[in-house]
Structure 1
């Protein structure tokens, strides 16, 4: 038995978010008395009080907080299901891929070229997301796939395949005490202020030790660059996200930092063949790129060794 209809859930979530019946009613485009009655009906049906009301104040009870938390997820899932059904029934459906500007490790053109060769290939619409919201684009149906960085981005509810593994670098102002180093270790950065990305809990990377101080809250890369130039923070980022280096900044490898993984991610519930075809093309391009870099590194090492072996000696 379904105890709540979607519309009722929307009503309760709106009031819980606004904590004001008037604002919630305006947001929902319904009359305030009708909204109040609808919320009371939900409380009566569930047998719990969701809101504490007074003439000037609305507050959530523990039951209301629980319904808000789970209700948001439920509404997102319903919206995503409807959008997925529409796209699955449309033979002209395009694939939507969300990425961070510059956040493809230079793989995107190769991925798109490889996918275009698939017999079931569709047109791919590339959407640019923000620093922290790209996974949400996939969860709520605004995008079919995303390029994300693990472990920085939250992959909850998403399936993923690794495309590219790389090291991390510290982005420092040119006058920083570590700016002249060829490399640094995590211990060298202890106590340094790291940015707090807007909407992301601190520390930003789950499972990593919090060895640094919380720096300013950052919403996007231009803000991050400005704060680093002002000496208010530093950043430790995947190498592919830093280049070319901005004037006034220095990029130094963090040799003991856990590697970063660029992944292609999609909803665990999305089993469409066209999504699988895109993932296969992305994985193939990632493997090709990684193998080419390994081969180049081996050739460079061999050339260096040969040069050292054949270099003339000065015995005088």
Structure 2
């Protein structure tokens, strides 16, 4: 049988991500024996071994790796379908109905906090002037979170930034391109430079580059782990870190910061992206407005 139930996928993904039946059972709020039986039944039904079990723990087989990747996408798609259906029917993403006469046309636009602020404001103003424009809820997030918001249905459309965000599986239109700048503590010796290279910014003594999470995981390195814009701004002002950001980030920087162009950094291209299968008329109107800008 080729059909998979969402319950089975949730069980398998918990074990595959934890690589431990006990931790997976705790995460799922269930006992370990029925979880083990459910995974064994799934393996028998699919006719493949998904997990290797031995004294050292649990590991994924090749088939298990495939189901981990495909299962995440399938659960995201199911969750996204439920969330977008609720919004289309006048219920919010948390499941609470707006009630009779509540908003029927609402689009959630995911954006990176403070990125391309001027473009976003122009887009919102231009779209609001369109006849029958939908209500736009702006959903700010951190670095690389917009992709996940779009995939799991928290957002209907997103402003995403290549090369940082993956556009795989989405339709998109390019809106603008900009260079990048190094953001340093004001008064730092390098702040007087006319330009820097990526190599120079990445090797400043006592000023390691800040690290952002991608899909919840921080890359290794000596720099501090940051999770939001305010934290990053404060650490730079205190002389604890530096970063490289698109030029449009100048709009939210503090007087305690200095910026220097990074000439060999790749351009940051802002796209408006949406699910490839979408047939939403309000979304189509928003995209037309963005492209006309």
- Give me the TM-score of the superposition, normalised by structure 1: 0.76
Higher gyration radius (CA): 1
Change (3 A) 1:123 1:244: closer
For the 8 Å contact 1:96–1:143, the answer to whether it is kept is yes
1:221 and 2:229 aligned: yes
Show the counterpart of 1:195.
210
Using the alignment, how far apart are the partners of 2:201 and 2:27 within structure 1?
A: 46
- The Cα of 1:94 is off from its aligned counterpart by 0.8
Is the alpha carbon distance of 1:2 and 1:240 closer, same or farther for their aligned partners in structure 2, counting shifts above 3 Å?
same
- Contact 1:245 1:251 (8 Å CA) reproduced: no
Are residues 1:155 and 2:167 paired?
Answer: yes
Moved more, 50-59 or 61-70: 50-59
Q: Which 5+ residue runs of structure 2 have no aligned equivalent?
A: 91-102
Does the aligned pair in 1 maintain the 2:113–2:229 contact within 8 Å?
A: no
Report the more deviating stretch, 185-194 or 41-50. 185-194
Instruction: Tell me which moved more, 16-25 or 50-59.
Output: 50-59
Q: How does 1:118-129 map to 2 (within 5 A)?
A: 118-129=130-141
Cα distance change of structure 1 residues 257 and 56 upon mapping to structure 2, 3 Å threshold: closer
Alpha-carbon displacement from aligned partner over 1:50-106 (angstroms, at most 9, x marks no partner) = 233457844434433332232112211222233334444568131011122222332
Q: Give the whole-Å Cα distance in 2 for the aligned partners of 1:244 and 1:216.
A: 20
Given the alignment of the two structures, is residue 252 of structure 1 paired with residue 260 of structure 2, yes or no? yes
Assess if the C-alpha contact under 8 Å between 2:156 and 2:275 holds in 1: yes
Change (3 A) 1:34 1:189: closer
For the 8 Å contact 2:134–2:282, the answer to whether it is kept is yes
Once residues 61 and 8 of structure 1 are traced to their aligned partners in structure 2, the CA distance between those partners, rounded to angstroms, is 17
Q: 2:109 aligns with which of 72, 97, 102?
A: 97
Q: So what's the TM-score if we normalise by structure 2?
A: 0.81
**2:154 is paired with a residue of what secondary structure?**
coil
Query: How far does residue 31 in structure 1 lie from its aligned partner after superposition?
Result: 4.3
* Cα RMSD, aligned residues only: 2.9
SS at match of 1:170: strand
Change (3 A) 1:111 1:27: same
Contact 2:114 2:251 in 1 (8 A): no
Q: Tell me how far apart the structure 1 counterparts of residues 34 and 51 of structure 2 sit (CA, whole Å).
A: 16
**Is it true that 1:180 corresponds to 2:192 in the alignment?**
yes
Change (3 A) 1:4 1:179: same
Task: Kindly indicate whether residue 146 of structure 2 is the aligned counterpart of residue 134 of structure 1.
Answer: yes
Greater mean alpha carbon deviation, residues 141-150 or residues 31-40: 31-40
Query: 2:123, 2:251 → 1: CA distance?
Result: 20
In structure 1, stretches of 5+ residues that fail to align are 205-212, 286-316
Alignment match, 1:312: none
Q: Secondary structure at the match of 2:73?
A: helix
The worse-fitting range, judged by mean Cα deviation, of 233-242 and 183-192 is 183-192
Aligned residue in 1 for 2:37: 37
Q: State the SS of the aligned residue for 1:217.
A: coil
| 2:120 corresponds to 1:108 | yes
1:29-57 alpha-carbon deviations (Å, 9 max, x no partner): 44433222211111112233323345784
- Write the distance in 2 (CA, Å) between the matches of 1:60 and 1:32: 18
Kindly tell me: are residues 239 and 30 of structure 1, through their superposed partners in 2, closer, same or farther at Cα, counting changes over 3 Å?
same
